Amino acid sequence: MSVLPPVRKDRIIGQLPKCFNRGAALNTDDEFHNKVKTACQQQRTGTVGFKISKVIVVGDLAVGKTCLINRFCKDVFDKNYKATIGVDFEMERFEVLGVPFSLQLWDTAGQERFKCIASTYYRGAQAVIIVFDLTDVASLEHTRQWLEDAMKENDPTSVLLFLVGTKKDLSSPAQYTLIEQDAIKLADQMKAEYWALSALSGENVREFFFRVASLTFEANVLAELEKSGSRRIGEVVQINSNSNNLYATSKKKQTNCCQ
Ligand SMILES: Nc1nc2c(ncn2[C@@H]2O[C@H](COP(=O)(O)OP(=O)(O)O)[C@@H](O)[C@H]2O)c(=O)[nH]1
Ligand SMILES: [Mg+2]
């Protein structure tokens, strides 16, 4: 295995980042789930497993998927690291609540015209980013189909969805307001979180990926806590298996637990 570079200082997440629009958000919590915070604190003292989540980026040709990924990942990896990983996905490394965490960002480059091949790329995704162009209504309409295709290969109950409008720099305020109304409605129906951004100016790009990383990490840890397997994080499960006591303690500190 290739030697990974250290996590960059500006990829360290200590607080749950805010959603873009409270009307179309996966959650509106101010903080990470208490269970997750506790688990991460416990993990810090032991050996930490290598946590990684697969994220796929889908949408019409030329909506800006590759530019979006490149905008965020550029300068993060040195050339050697990129060469080792290959060209199908970018690996982005974070540290969330003190725990190393990586996102594998799969760019479905070229698959727009070869949808049958794409199923192998879609499989096993923890998050799906459906991209549309804020200046192209048709690309928003097509997102339903993209969602359907991506979900054929995944468990809809465990995948986090993001509906992302790109090229914000190109849209006039009037045009933007109009398409955003439709996008928010659609995001709500899809149970997706809505974001609008620009890969060109960089507006909201970092905020968006931090949100993706944080929510994916949170879901990942919660899922692991629910398992009673013998993996490393199982140590945390054992602590939590005494959950009555754990809650009794945490309740004193915090009452507004998520959900
Ligand atoms: N103005 C502007 N152009 C963009 C933006 N993102 C992508 N583009 C342009 O849109 C075109 C398609 O982008 P690309 O990322 O290759 O689309 P993909 O096919 O979805 O991967 C390119 O000409 C980009 O320069 C953006 O945020 N603003
Ligand atoms: Mg592309």
Strand runs (DSSP E) across 83-191, as ranges?
89-96, 99-107, 127-133, 160-166
pLDDT grade, residue 226 (50/70/90)? confident
Q: Is 157 exposed, middle or buried (0-12, 13-18, 19+ CB in 10 A)?
A: exposed
By alpha-carbon position, which residue is closest to atom 15 of ligand 1? 64
pLDDT of 243: 40
Most confident of the following: 75-84, 147-156, 228-237, 247-256: 147-156
CA distance 178 to 196: 13
Domain at 87, CATH number? 3.40.50.300
pLDDT of 49: 58
In a domain, residue 203? The reply is yes
Q: Which two tokens stand for residue 142?
A: 């097509």
Computed from CA positions of residues 89, 53, 115, 26, in that sequence, does the dihedral angle turn out positive or negative?
Answer: negative
Q: Is 226 exposed, middle or buried (0-12, 13-18, 19+ CB in 10 A)?
A: exposed
In a domain, residue 56? The reply is yes
Please determine, for residue 127, whether its predicted confidence score (pLDDT) is greater than 70: yes
In a domain, residue 202? The reply is yes
Please determine, for residue 23, whether its predicted confidence score (pLDDT) is greater than 90: yes
pLDDT grade, residue 76 (50/70/90)? very low
CA 16 to chain CA mean position, Å = 12
In a domain, residue 241? The reply is no
Mean pLDDT of 72-76: 66
pLDDT of 122: 86
Give the mutation target among 67, 112, 132 for probing the ligand 1 site: most ligand atoms within 8 A of CB. 67
CA of 110 to the centre of ligand 1 (A): 14
pLDDT digits (tens, 9 = 90+) for 173-189: 999 999 999 999 999 99
The boundaries of the domain holding residue 31 are 9-228
Q: Is the CB of 169 under 6 A from ligand 1?
A: yes
Q: Is the CB of 70 under 6 A from ligand 1?
A: no
In a domain, residue 167? The reply is yes
In a domain, residue 4? The reply is no
Q: Quick check: 137 and 176 in contact, CB under 8 A?
A: no
Structural domains counted in the chain: 1
In a domain, residue 234? The reply is no
- Position with higher pLDDT, 216 vs 149: 216
> Which phi and psi (to 5°) does residue 99 adopt?
-110, 125
* Listed range (46-50, 51-55, 217-221) with the worst mean pLDDT: 46-50
In a domain, residue 158? The reply is yes
